């Protein structure tokens, strides 16, 4: 296994003349939990969609586990979209079977154990769950794969603080030295204790990357404070 799980070189993508990524360079090392931090419209979702093969870059290169994005890389990347994307009519038990059918690295056992700790029954219909529980179910399904790279797009958006704590706890509990987790968010004060390092993205480019403790040590401020300073409107 290579030390670098994801590598981007000069990645470019525009939508009808409007640039979303303009020469993005980034390296994510194995065994890291990293934050992709930037304001709305900075390119976070575009980057994540390119990394899991939902979009194609216009130029530049992206490698997952040393190989190109495609059939093989999709088997190694577990993706949590920034919106609820599961079939509403399914029951929790059916969703587990659905994921198990799609992904050979999916652990039904792990998913069931996590759902059980939340008190969610197999027979519960997805559409009858609260927004917080829907987000939790979707995260559990994403984290129950044995992937090399977990791409979590805004996993904390629109949920209450207790649910945020649950989600962050689940990310820590699933930590593995052989995989990496990318968390895209702008809710920085909630996540910074969980992150090894952060990448600040602006106008489709990484303009600052460092470890959380290095930022605190050298600048004497939290990542959240640095973000507010850098992105002051």
Partner 1 sequence: MRWNFVSDRPIYAQIVESMKLFIAGGELAPGGKVPPVRDLAAEAGVNPNTMQRALAELEREGLLRSNRTSGRYVTDDAAVVEAVRLSLAKAETVRFLGAMEKLGYGRADIARLVENFKAGDDKA
Q: Which residues contribute to the site for partner 1 (CB under 8 A)? A: 31-33, 165, 168-169, 172-173, 175, 189, 192-196, 212-214, 216-217, 220-222, 224-225
How many DSSP H helices and E strands does the chain contain?
9, 10
Nearer to partner 1 among residue 20 and residue 147 (C-beta) = 147
CA 203, 207, 213, 216 torsion-angle sign? negative
Pair 82, 153: CB distance under 8 Å: yes
C-alpha 136/C-alpha 142 separation (Å) is 10
Pair 144, 90: CB distance under 8 Å: no
Nearer to partner 1 among residue 84 and residue 194 (C-beta) = 194
Backbone angles phi, psi at 62, to 5 degrees: -135, 130
Q: How far is the CB of 11 from partner 1 (least distance, A)?
A: 26
Q: How far is the CB of 216 from partner 1 (least distance, A)?
A: 5
Nearer to partner 1 among residue 88 and residue 213 (C-beta) = 213
Nearer to partner 1 among residue 128 and residue 214 (C-beta) = 214
* Residue position matching structure tokens 């980057």: 47
Q: How far is the CB of 192 from partner 1 (least distance, A)?
A: 8
Q: How far is the CB of 140 from partner 1 (least distance, A)?
A: 16
Provide the token pair at 185. Answer: 């968010």
Nearer to partner 1 among residue 143 and residue 195 (C-beta) = 195
Q: How far is the CB of 116 from partner 1 (least distance, A)?
A: 17
* Residue position matching structure tokens 């980034």: 26
């Amino acid at each position: 296994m290579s030390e670098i799980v994801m590598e981007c070189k000069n990645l470019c993508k525009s939508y009808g003349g409007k640039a979303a990524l303009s020469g993005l360079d980034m390296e994510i090392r194995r065994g890291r939990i990293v934050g992709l931090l930037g304001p709305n419209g900075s390119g976070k979702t575009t980057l994540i969609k390119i990394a899991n093969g939902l979009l194609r870059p216009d130029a530049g290169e992206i490698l997952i586990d040393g190989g190109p994005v495609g059939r093989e890389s999709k088997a190694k990347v577990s993706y949590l979209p920034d919106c609820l994307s599961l079939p509403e009519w399914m029951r929790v038990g059916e969703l587990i079977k659905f994921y198990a059918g799609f992904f050979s690295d999916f652990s039904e056992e792990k998913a069931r154990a996590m759902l059980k700790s939340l008190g969610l029954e197999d027979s519960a219909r997805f559409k009858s769950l609260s927004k917080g529980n829907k987000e939790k179910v979707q995260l559990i399904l994403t984290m129950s794969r044995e992937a090399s790279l977990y791409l979590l797009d805004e996993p904390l958006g629109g949920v209450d603080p207790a649910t945020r704590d649950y989600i962050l706890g689940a990310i820590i509990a699933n930590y593995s030295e052989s995989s990496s987790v990318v968390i895209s968010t702008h809710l920085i004060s909630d996540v910074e204790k969980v992150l090894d390092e952060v990448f600040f993205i602006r106008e489709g480019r990484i303009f600052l990357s460092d470890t959380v403790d290095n930022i605190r040590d050298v600048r004497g401020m939290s990542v959240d404070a640095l973000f507010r300073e850098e992105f002051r409107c």
